[in-house]
Every structure is written in C-alpha cells, then in structure tokens.
Amino acid sequence: MKKHRPEKSTAEIHWDIKSYEKLSRDELYHIIRARLDVFVVEQCCYYQDLDGKDMESHHLCGFDGQHLAAYARLLPPGLAYPDAASIGRVLTTAPYRRSGLGRELMQTALSHCDSMWPESSLKIGAQAYLESFYEDFGFSRCGDDYLEDGILHLPMLRPPG
C-alpha cells in the first residue's frame, strides 16, 4: 500500500508553542493521538505516555492546516533531569516523514529551548538509531546505551546556547 504524502511543502507548516494550560482540548487530543500512534502503535511499545510531566512542559506543534505534522515536548531544567532542560516525545507523523520536517522540528525546538533556558544544557534520551541525527544538532553521547521500554536508547547532552 502506498503511503500518503502531503502535497504541501514543509514551508507551509505553522509552528506554535504553548504551555499545557494554553492548549485547547482539540490540540491536546491531536498531541496525545500522535504520540500514541507513533510510540505505542507503530513502535509496538507499551508504556505509560502520560507521565505527569506534560503539565509543566511546553508543547511545540507543527500544524499543516488542522493536521498535526510534527511535535516535541520541551521540559524545563529539573523536570526530567536535575541539571538540564530536555526535549522529548519528538515525532513527525507518518505522512510527513522523509520530508525534512524532523530537522525543522529539532531546529525550532532548540531555538525555543535556547530562548527560554539560555544557561541550561539540554539532555535527551535518544533512540540509539537516531544518534547521528542528534549529533547534527550539537548533542553528544554522555553515557552508556540502555533499554527503555524494550527500545535501545542512549543519553546525549548539548551544552548551553
């Protein structure tokens, strides 16, 4: 079966970042739906997505009209890691993969993190197969590989700014 590819270019993606309190019910629904579609269904990974950190995070959404095309959760210093801010739940929805949108998402997320927490480093738990992708954005390995929910991950760190 041929996958549907969006007809619009990534230049037509509208980026929006909001605190949890500012999200509409529809936006929250689209976010949770996309996270479940990608991380639970596609990756066959059964885990507790709703971890209590959404309420203190910022949510970066890339919309193509009414469709959520890309998403990342930006966590302030101390929420996921005691000494660093973090970016998590990074995804592009299936129709937008291999379009360059993932790189645009990360660049946008980094820009917001640098603006909100300029003195903070960023630490992520990256899926191991994406190590070189994150290295392109200034992250470097800062520990050993580990299994999280049955998927190989590695810790990565990016210095401030």
The answer on pLDDT for 148 being more than 70 is yes
CATH number of 13-158, picked from 3.40.50.300, 3.30.499.10, 3.20.20.70, 3.40.630.30: 3.40.630.30
84, 122 contact by CB (below 8 A): yes
Query: Looking at residue 43, what is its pLDDT?
Result: 87
Tens digits of per-residue pLDDT, 89-137? 999 999 999 999 999 999 999 999 999 999 999 999 999 999 999 999 9
Q: What does the block give as tokens for 43?
A: 């990756």
37, 31 contact by CB (below 8 A): no
58, 110 contact by CB (below 8 A): no
Confidence of residue 83 (pLDDT cuts 50, 70, 90): very high
Tens digits of per-residue pLDDT, 37-67? 999 898 888 888 899 999 999 999 999 999 9
Segment 15-38 mean pLDDT? 97
Segment 149-156 mean pLDDT? 93
Query: Looking at residue 140, what is its pLDDT?
Result: 98
Query: Looking at residue 131, what is its pLDDT?
Result: 97
Tens digits of per-residue pLDDT, 2-23? 444 455 456 689 999 999 999 9
127, 151 contact by CB (below 8 A): yes
Q: What does the block give as tokens for 3?
A: 């996958």
One-letter amino acid for residue 131 of the chain: E
One-letter amino acid for residue 4 of the chain: H
- Predicted model pTM: 0.90
Query: Looking at residue 101, what is its pLDDT?
Result: 97
Query: Looking at residue 9, what is its pLDDT?
Result: 58
User: Which among 127, 24, 44, 35 has a CA at the least distance from the CA of 73?
Assistant: 35
